[in-house]
Amino acid sequence: MQGQEPTMQVAIHAGAAFTDEGRLLRSLQVNGEALAQNGVAFFGPRRYRQVFKPAFQALNSRPPLPDEIELIRSNLPIHPKVKRAIFTSEGFIGERDAALADGQFYPAAGKRLSVLEEAFNDCQLELFLALRNPGSFIPKHLISLSEQAREDVIRNNDLSHLSWVGMIEDIRDFAPGVQITLWCNEDIPLIWGDVVRSVGGLDLNAPIEDEYDLLVSLLTEDGQTHAKAILDQNTTLTRGETRDALTAVLEDHAQRDKMEEELELPGWSDEIIEAFSELYAQDLSELETMAEVRVLKP
């Protein structure tokens, strides 16, 4: 009913591929007590495979049936204390083997979100998504495919013009009521706490158990000593001061082999990656100006 408050908040965390690899679900589990105290329930990829995937697969030939929409709807928690439901799986915007098709990233994303918007039509629906530099995303995707599938993708798509903007525009066209929160996978070590707080609907200053675990794991032994000394001062440093100090430690003491990924795709040169990096920066600047789109940054 128009003007009525949403009955529930529904947060969809959808990857993208080669960004999360289960990290968010593990962090939600680690912080489960705090989330439960704030009326948050969360569900992992199994729920996606059992409930959402069959309805999405039907989109290839027809609109979803009313009973499929109702099945999705029926998976909302009914406990009176639960006010926010989180569903996490990269499949929500498209299966991994179809992440690049029809000349863009995740061409099915818009239609899939429109199904969710229909199913959760009286809820506050939010999409959370990590983006990754196309200069590394494209070769990671191609390497993951069979040789024949890889050749088909290269032959049927202009890889040089791939942009995340087209996918987000599709989602906004097909599901205009969805609020979208994005972040760069490259920034994850510094903003992980903000990601968890945002997905969980928690207060901006809510403590997160594993907020800097990933950052510390990327440091040399000496760097880890420095980082732990900074984190031990958490009662005297503000969150901004802590982040600034850890950023400096990461710059000086990162294990480069953990920070720099080898991309084993023949012909994929540093020059190509650099060109995509420039396009990626342009994409992010454009996305930051879009209505109903928020970009988390360090």
Instruction: Give the integer Cα–Cα distance in Å for 90 and 253.
Output: 32
Query: How much is the mean pLDDT over the chain?
Result: 93
pLDDT of 13 > 70? The answer is yes
Cα torsion 236, 212, 42, 3 to 10°: value is 60
pLDDT digits (tens, 9 = 90+) for 240-275: 889 999 999 999 999 988 877 778 888 899 999 999
pLDDT digits (tens, 9 = 90+) for 47-96: 999 999 999 988 888 888 899 999 999 999 988 999 999 999 999 999 99
pLDDT digits (tens, 9 = 90+) for 158-178: 999 899 999 999 999 999 999
Instruction: Give the integer Cα–Cα distance in Å for 234 and 230.
Output: 7
| CATH, domain 9-210+266-296, list 2.60.120, 3.40.50, 3.30.70, 3.30.920 | 3.40.50
Side-chain half-sphere CA neighbours of 125 within 13 A: 20
pLDDT digits (tens, 9 = 90+) for 281-290: 999 999 999 9
Domain ranges of the chain: 9-210+266-296
Strand, coil or helix: 104: strand
State the pLDDT at residue 1. Answer: 40
Would you place residue 219 in the very low, low, confident or very high pLDDT band (cuts 50, 70, 90)?
A: very high
